[in-house]
Amino acid sequence: MNQKYIRWLLEEIPTLITEEILPADVAERLRQHYGDKQQERGMGWAVVLFSILGAVLIGGGIILLLAHNWDQLSRSVRTVLSFAPLVCAQVLGGWVIWKRRDRTGWREGAGTLLTLTIGSTIALISQTYNIVGDFGSFMLTWSLLALPVVYLLDASVPAVLYLAGSIAWVADMRFNAGQPLWFWLLAALIVPSLWLTSRVNRYRMRPVLMSWALALAICIGAGFTLTRDFGEIWMLTYAGIFAVLYLLGERWFADAANWWQRPFQTLGACGVFGLSLLLTFRWPWHEVVVPWHGNPTAAPLAIAVLWPIAAITLWLTSLRRRQFAEVLFGALPLVVAIGYLITARRESGVIPATILSDIYLFILGVGTLWRGVREQRLGVVNGGMLMLSTLIAMRFFDGEYSFVIRSLAFMAVGLGFLMTNMVLIRRKGATV
Amino acid sequence: MNKKLRLGCYLVAVLAQMAVPATMIWGHERTMTRGEVYIFRTQPVDPYDAFRGRYVWLRIEEDHAPLLSGMQIQRGQKVYALIEIGTDGFAKFSGIRISPPQGEPYLTARASYADGAVVHLLLPFDRYYMEESLAPAAEKAYRESSRMGGKKAYVTVHVLDGTSVLENLWIEGVSIHDFVSGK
């Protein structure tokens, strides 16, 4: 059962006893049953976390010990010592598959240790034999060798390490020659593992951790893969990525109890807010006015455009289902696309595009605030307030507009607030 | 997936994990035994690598090659640098090719940047690993001795089919280990 419901049930028990809906002995049994479950879960996670921490510390210690490069030892002894941690971790991994496959702590700990020792052995052999190699191929080799560990040991920390390695590789590709687009294939290779882990309960720590890592990897990876040849298209691509993350999250993680259990929505919403705020400034739109300097080929262009297309497709289904929050957050790619049409090759279009972004962010803030009030969710109310106060603060200190324009805009915003307030009061049937 | 199949797949993954470093050693040994030896003049500096420990960074003096007119090179592009031995006995690069040359000694490297008619290369032997305490001592000893008498440092490199293996770092004919320990 979802943690949120268990917590709710435990909080309701005293009222149910007082109002004589539930006999005290039944209530006690319920409390013991679900209370124990919660405690067990907490204990279970402590074991898993200690296993992972232990594996990380042991792996790190081995790397540091061998990195000393013991000069007294012969090359063959150092070679054996470099392989030893890998072989031990491999044997441990095999034993866990055979004997302890049902224990998360063992799987995570052994998987983490094995992933770390794969990298350390390659690095130490490079050191022993003075084989330099380039950083990008080292990270790629390490990541690909760690990928089977994710699936065969069914472990989430190796998946996070794999994604981190893929990011390091794509960063190297971005600044040196190479094809960074392969990053999308590397990221896609982890998706089946996320699906397998999420099947039973997607709100558990492991699928949530993997979802956070994947969502972050997509956001960072997009920057490295798509910005080299596409000066100005990044705004549309990122608008698409954030909207897709939010819309998918709303569909898959709708019943989460906390913000951290909604990785896609949280990251998507933060991204939509951050990008909208950025687009209220003139400089991003100036990039659209400047003629295209990049030398794009079909593949990166397809990926860059795929995200906004996917976002708009999802957004249309949200519109049909009348999902207010989804329509609001998912509209960013459309706003950016309209901004592009206004601004393309025209300096005169920059200010209208920033005003369009101001209006969008204002509607986003008010809409979030309204949703928070309607659903009585303080976190959402605070999110809406944060959006609006940031927008107001930005515009108050914005020297690009005259005092008269700013004062008129502020009065319009104030009127907007009052009108929203009136609508809210009427809906709730209250009086002032 | 049943337990036996899972363990079988795990065995394949484990073998692949062992094969990568083993292949690195095999390639190293093959180049060391069958490769031609070249000497490159260098300056040693001491940096740090969290994974692989201390090493002496080698600033190879002849790290560039003439660029043919009209040849377009991208930063990081894989190139094949032709090796020739100068009148002083040290190796240098006489040109670059974008495909492996036949019948000429060459080194596989990456282009760093082009400067007029010259392309600077990212060479695959730019670090020499040493024990934690010896690497900074090596740099210090080299700096002090070169200030006093202008000592020359160089590396010996084995090259086979474009692949290189760094054999040793020498200062005035003395290996760096002996130089640091004062033998």
Q: Are residues B25 and B61 in the same domain?
A: no
pLDDT exceeds 70 at position A38: no
Res. B61: pLDDT tops 50: yes
Q: Return d(Cα A401, Cα A325) in angstroms, integer.
A: 31
Q: Are residues B40 and B22 in the same domain?
A: no
Q: Considering its fold, how many domains does chain B have in total?
A: 2
Pick from A183, A172, A272: which is nearest to A221 by CA? Answer: A183
Cβ contact, residue pair A132, B77, below 8 Å? no
Count CA within 13 A, CB hemisphere, residue A293.
8
Q: Which of A87, A94, A126 faces B52 most closely, judged by CB atoms?
A: A126
User: A100: which 2 tokens?
Assistant: 């302890």
Contact A141 B6 (CB under 8 A): no
Q: Which of A110-119, A416-425, B161-170 has the lowest mean pLDDT?
A: A416-425
Contact B52 A125 (CB under 8 A): no
Could you give phi then psi for residue B153, rounded to 5 degrees?
-110, 145
Q: For residue B113, what is the nearest residue in chain A, using CA coordinates?
A: A176
B58: phi > 0 → left, psi -120 to 50 → alpha, else beta; which? Answer: beta
The burial of B176, by beta-carbon neighbours within 10 Å (0-12 exposed, 13-18 middle, 19 or more buried), is given as buried
Mark yes or no for CB contact B129/A79 under 8 Å: no
| Nearest by CB: B9 against A68, A69, A148 | A148
Q: pLDDT at position A421, please?
A: 66
What is residue A431's predicted lDDT score, i.e. its pLDDT? 41
pLDDT tens profile A232-258: 678 888 999 999 999 999 888 877 777
B108 and B30 within one domain = no
Whether the predicted pLDDT of A432 surpasses 50: no
- What 3-state class would DSSP assign to B83? strand
Residue pair B16/A149 in contact by the 8 Å Cβ criterion: no
Residues B116 and B174 in one domain: yes
- For position B80, what pLDDT does the model report? 92
Residues B148 and B138 in one domain: yes
The residue among A379 and B155 whose pLDDT is bigger is: B155
Q: Which of A97, A128, A141 sits opposite B7 (nearest CB)?
A: A97
Alpha-helical (H) ranges within A68-101 are 75-99
Q: Is pLDDT larger for residue A432 or for residue A208?
A: A208
The model's confidence at residue B50, banded by pLDDT at 50, 70 and 90, is: very low
**C-alpha B159: how far from chain center:** 10
Copy the structure tokens of residue A312.
């708009």
CB A8 within 8 A of CB A255: no
Which of A155, A157, A146, A153 shows the shortest CA–CA distance to A53? A157
Tell whether B30 and B63 lie within a shared domain.
no
Do B110 and B22 share a structural domain? Answer: no
Q: Which residue has the higher pLDDT, A147 or B115?
A: A147
**Six-digit token pair at B106?**
């060459």
Q: Tell me the helix, strand and coil percentages in chain A, rounded to 5.
A: 80, 0, 20
pLDDT in tens, A270-317: 999 999 999 988 888 887 766 555 565 677 777 788 899 999 999 999
What is the C-alpha radius of gyration for chain B, rounded to an integer number of angstroms?
Answer: 20
The mean pLDDT value for B50-55 works out to 55
- The verdict on B70 and B103 lying in the same domain is yes
Instruction: Enumerate chain B positions whose Cβ falls within 8 A of a Cβ in A.
Output: 3, 6-7, 9-14, 16-18, 20-21, 24-25, 27-28, 49-55, 74-78, 110-111, 124-132, 134, 165-166, 177
Percent of residues, chain B, with pLDDT higher than 70: 84
Residue A352's pLDDT band (cuts 50, 70, 90): confident
Mutation for testing the A interface, residue in B7, B10, B30 having most A CBs under 10 Å:
B10
Q: Do B131 and A70 touch (CB under 8 A)?
A: yes
Q: What is the CA radius of gyration of chain A?
A: 26
- In A, minimum Cα distance to B131 occurs at A69
Contact B13 A98 (CB under 8 A): no
Work out the percent of chain B whose per-residue pLDDT is above 90.
19
At residue A42, the pLDDT reads 56
What's the average model confidence in pLDDT over A68-94?
A: 83
Tens digits of per-residue pLDDT, B105-160? 999 988 888 887 888 988 888 778 877 677 777 777 766 665 555 567 888 999 99
| The pLDDT of residue A41 is above 70 | no
**pLDDT score of A392:** 79
pLDDT digits (tens, 9 = 90+) for A404-423: 777 777 787 777 667 766 76
pLDDT attached to residue A312:
93
Q: Which contacts (CB < 8 Å, 24+ apart) does range A143-149 have?
A: A143/A169, A143/A186, A145/A118, A145/B13, A145/B16, A145/B17, A145/B20, A146/A114, A146/A115, A146/A118, A146/A119, A147/A189, A147/A190, A148/B9, A148/B10, A148/B12, A148/B13, A148/B16, A149/A93, A149/A111, A149/A114, A149/A115, A149/A118, A149/B13
Q: Closest-CA residue in chain B for A102? A: B3
Is the model more confident about A411 or about B31?
B31
CA angle A83, A169, A278 (to 5 degrees): 145
Nearest to B154 by CA among B165, B166, B163: B166
Q: 3-class DSSP state for residue B85?
A: strand
A177 contacts B110? CB cut-off 8 A = yes
Using a CB-CB cut-off of 8 Å, the residues of chain A touching B78 are 177
Statement to judge: residues B24 and B87 lie in one domain: no
Q: Which of B14, B17, B51 sits opposite A67 (nearest CB)?
A: B51
> Any idea which residue has 């730019």 for tokens?
B126
Where does residue B50 fall: left (phi above 0), alpha (psi -120 to 50 degrees), or beta otherwise? alpha
CA dist., res. B168 & res. B179, Å (int): 12
Three-state SS at B59: strand
CA distances from B137 to A41, B43, B173 (A): 53, 14, 18
Task: Give me the residue from B27, B132, B166 closest to A68, CB to CB.
Answer: B132
Q: Are residues B28 and B39 in the same domain?
A: no
Residues of A with CB under 8 A from a CB of B: 63, 66-71, 79, 82-83, 86-87, 90, 93-94, 97-98, 101, 118-134, 141, 145, 148-149, 152, 175-178
Chain A residues lying within 8 Å of B132, measured CB to CB: 67-69
Let me know whether B74 and B142 are in one domain: yes
Q: Residues for chain B: how many in total?
A: 183
Within 8 A of A161 by CB-CB distance, chain B residues are none
Q: In the 8-state DSSP scheme, what is residue A189?
A: T
Q: Which residue range(s) make up the domain with B118?
A: 35-181
With bands split at pLDDT 50, 70 and 90, how would you rate the model's confidence at B51? Answer: very low
Is this complex's ipTM strictly greater than 0.85? no
Average pLDDT, chain A: 82
